[in-house]
């Protein structure tokens, strides 16, 4: 990871946790007369740029939607390429993450992956577990509905075993069983590619997240693009159910 830190002072307010749907790899390639696989390979470069810049700017956590539970419906050749690309990227980037104090973890249902890929994920997580800088979370074979269902299943199992009563279950307890329970909820959600939807990503965690949609395709998303999203975030007033007057101190909270 390289590059200067001069842009840090230009960001008025940096989000603690950023979540990104990286959309547009295939369209990026198609528009250039290239196979979709070329777009995915170029998208890896955009991931590296984004991780590096988030780390420089002081973002605490970055969650990237790499492969959804619905992506298995894509052509088999593309799915195979995505799995292979994920495997090689894990192996090539882990050392770079360690050198830059970035801790990696993956969320999602790993059971559908090959044993080789599951081992590589576990090894990369283990090798970066002592890193204390940016938390990099990769969502693979992940879906927001799956996340909610698995949290509900865990709580139901505790009730069935007599360890918990239904009356004890509230939003806070439920949230502690969802993915990313140890991280602050995302402050900023970014989706590239021009579509305006969350696509089953972090449905529980995005309740009060600010949403930013970019027309740029993911391989074209660069440092300036990220800073544009951060600048837009800095201009917003986050009220969390309160009024603007309460936040300004003009009325009692």
Give me the active site residues, please: 23, 71
β-partners of residue 63 are 19, 137
Supply the DSSP string of 112-144, one letter for each residue.
GS-HHHHHHHHHHHHHTTT--S-EEEEEEEE-H
Find, among 138, 131, 149, 130, the residue nearest to 85 by Cα: 138
Max CA separation in the chain (angstroms): 60
Do strands 61-68 and 103-107 pair parallel, antiparallel, or not at all (unpaired)?
Answer: unpaired
10, 22, 11: which is closest to 233 by C-alpha?
11
DSSP conformation class of 21? E
């Amino acid at each position: 990871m390289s590059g200067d830190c001069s842009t840090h002072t230009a960001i008025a307010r940096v989000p603690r946790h950023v979540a990104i749907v990286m959309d547009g790899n295939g369209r990026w390639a198609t528009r250039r007369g290239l196979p979709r696989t070329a777009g995915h390979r170029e998208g890896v470069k955009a991931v590296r740029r984004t991780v590096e810049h988030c780390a420089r700017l002081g973002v605490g956590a970055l969650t990237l939607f790499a492969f959804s539970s619905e992506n298995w419906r894509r052509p088999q050749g593309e799915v195979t390429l995505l799995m292979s690309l994920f495997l090689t990227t894990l192996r090539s980037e882990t050392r770079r993450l360690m050198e830059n104090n970035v801790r990696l973890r993956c969320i999602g249902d790993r059971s559908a992956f090959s044993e080789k890929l599951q081992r590589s994920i576990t090894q990369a997580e283990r090798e970066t577990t002592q890193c204390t800088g940016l938390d990099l979370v990769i969502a693979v074979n992940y879906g927001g509905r799956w996340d909610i269902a698995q949290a509900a299943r865990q709580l139901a199992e505790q009730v069935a075993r007599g360890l918990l009563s239904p009356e004890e279950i509230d939003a806070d307890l439920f949230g502690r069983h969802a993915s990313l329970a140890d991280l602050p909820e995302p402050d900023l959600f970014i989706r590239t590619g021009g579509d305006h939807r969350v696509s089953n990503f972090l449905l529980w965690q995005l309740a009060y997240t600010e949403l930013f949609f970019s027309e740029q395709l993911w391989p074209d998303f660069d440092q300036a693009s990220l800073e544009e999203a951060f600048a837009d975030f800095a201009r917003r007033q986050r009220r969390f159910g309160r009024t603007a007057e309460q936040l300004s101190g003009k009325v009692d909270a």
